[in-house]
Structure 1
Amino acid sequence: MDLQKSHLRSANRKVNHCYGRLVKLKLTVCIPNVPTPPGFRRDFPEKVALRETKLKFLSSACFLLILLAEMSSQTEAEDRDLMAKAAKATEDLYYSRNTYFPADLEEKMSRLQSEADLALKLLDSIPLERKSPSQRATYEFLRGKILDVFPDYKKEAEDHLSKAVKLNPSLSDAWLCLGNCIWKKGDLPAAKNCFSLALTKGPNKKILCQLSMLERKMAQGTENQAQIVEESIQHAKEAIALDVKDGNSWYNLGNACLTSFFVTGAWDHNKLLHSLKAYQNAEKDESVKSNPDLYFNCATVNKYLENYERALTGFEAAALKDPGLNATEEVQKMINLLDKVESSLKGQTKAKRLASLASSLADVKLNSSYKRATTSLLLEGLNKGVAVVGRVLLFINHENLAPLYYLVCDSDQTCFVLSVYGLRNDVIKEGDRLTLLEPCYRGIDFTWKGKHYNFKSIRVDFLEQLLVNGKAPSPQQAVCTSIYAQHKP
Structure 2
Amino acid sequence: MSREAGGAAASSASAPERQRQQEEDANQGVPAGRTPLERTADAAEELYRLRDTFFPRNPAEKAAALRARADDALAVLDSLPPEERKTPQRRAVYEFLRGKILDVFPDYHKEAEDHLSKAVKLNPSLVDAWLCLGNCIWKKGDLASAMNCFSLALSKGADKKILCHLSMLERSMAQGSEDQAQLVEESIKHAKEAVMLDIRDGNSWYNLGNAYLTSFFVGGSWDHMKLHHSVKAYQNAEKDETMKSNPDLYYNCATADKYLENYERALRGFEAASLKDPGLGADTEVQKIMSLLDKLDSAMMGQLRSKRSASSVSSLSEVNIKSSHKRATIGILSEGLNNAVAVLGKVVLFIRHDNVAPMYYLTCDLDQSYFILSVYGLRNEAIKEGDRVALLEPYYRILDISWKEQRYQFKSVRVDFPEQILINEKAPPPHHVVRASIHAHNKP
TM beyond 0.5: yes
CA positional deviation for 1:366: 4.9
Q: Deviations over 1:157-181 (max 9, x none)?
A: 1111111111111000000000000
Matched with 1:10 is none
Q: Which amino acid aligns with 1:198?
A: A
Asked whether the equivalents of residues 221 and 417 of structure 2 are also in contact (C-alpha less than 8 Å), the reply is: no
- Deviation of residue 385 (structure 1)? 2.5
Gaps of 5+ in 1: 1-77
Determine if contact 1:409/1:415 at 8 Å carries over to the other structure: yes
Q: CA deviation at 1:314?
A: 0.3
Question: For structure 2, which runs of at least 5 residues remain unmatched after alignment?
Answer: 1-31
Alignment partners' CA distance in 2, 1:262 and 1:184: 24
Match of 2:170 in 1: 215
SS in 2 for 1:426: helix
- Report the secondary structure of 1:324's partner residue: helix
For residue 187 of structure 1, the aligned residue among 130, 135, 142 is 142
Secondary structure of the corresponding residue to residue 442 of structure 1: strand
Distance in 1 (CA, whole Å) between partners of 2:323 and 2:106 is: 60
Matched-pair contact (CA < 8 Å) for 2:84–2:90 = no
Task: Find 1:109's aligned residue among 63, 77, 100.
Answer: 63
Look up the SS of the partner of 1:345 in the other structure. Answer: helix
Give the % identical residues. 67
Residue number in structure 1 paired with 2:42: 88
* Residue of structure 2 aligned with 1:178, choices 128, 133, 148: 133
Q: Which moved more, 1:236-245 or 1:151-160?
A: 236-245
Counterpart residue identity of residue 299, structure 2: S
Q: Distance in 2 between matches of 1:95 and 1:183?
A: 20
Match of 2:267 among 297, 300, 312: 312
What is the match of residue 428 of structure 2? Answer: 473
- SS of alignment partner, residue 279 of structure 2: coil
Q: Specify the code of the residue in structure 1 equivalent to 2:258.
A: K
Give the structure 2 partner of residue 404 of structure 1.
Answer: 359
Q: Output the CA distance in 1 between the equivalents of 2:88 and 2:177.
A: 44
**Aligned residue pairs, count:** 412
The answer to whether 1:257 aligns with 2:212 is yes
- 1:179-328 mapped onto 2 (5 Å cutoff): 179-328=134-283
SS of the residue 1:417 aligns to: strand
Q: Distance in 1 between matches of 2:120 and 2:241?
A: 32
TM-score, normalised with respect to structure 1:
0.82
Task: Determine the C-alpha separation between the residues in 1 that align with 2:325 and 2:110.
Answer: 64
Question: Which residue identity lines up with residue 94 of structure 1 in the other structure?
Answer: Y
In structure 2, C-alpha distance between the alignment counterparts of 1:230 and 1:201, rounded to whole Å: 23
Give secondary structure in 2 for the equivalent of 1:289.
helix
Q: Contact 2:350 / 2:361 at 8 angstroms: preserved in 1? A: yes
* Aligned pairs (5 A) from 1:426-441: 426-441=381-396
**C-alpha RMSD of the superposition:** 1.5
Query: Hey, what's the Cα distance between the residues in 2 that align with 1:368 and 1:433?
Result: 16
Q: Following TM superposition, by how much is the alpha carbon of 1:184 offset from its aligned partner in structure 2, in angstroms?
A: 0.8
SS at match of 2:141: coil
Distance in 2, Cα, partners of 1:160 & 1:395: 57
Q: Could you list the per-position Cα deviations for residues 338-388 of structure 1 after superposition, in whole angstroms to 9, with x for gaps in the alignment?
A: 111112222243331221221111112355733222112111111123221
Deviation at 1:460, TM superposition (A): 0.8
The alignment's TM-score, normalised by the length of structure 2, stands at 0.90
> For residue 203 of structure 2, what is the amino acid of its counterpart?
N
Q: Compute the displacement of 1:476 (Å).
A: 4.1
The answer to whether residue 327 in structure 2 is matched with residue 372 in structure 1 is yes
1:211 and 1:478 mapped to 2: Cα distance? 32
Partner Cα distance (1:122, 1:302) in 2 = 46
Write out per-residue CA displacement over residues 34-80 of structure 1, whole angstroms, 9 at most, x where no aligned residue. Answer: xxxxxxxxxxxxxxxxxxxxxxxxxxxxxxxxxxxxxxxxxxxx996
CA drift at 1:488: 2.4
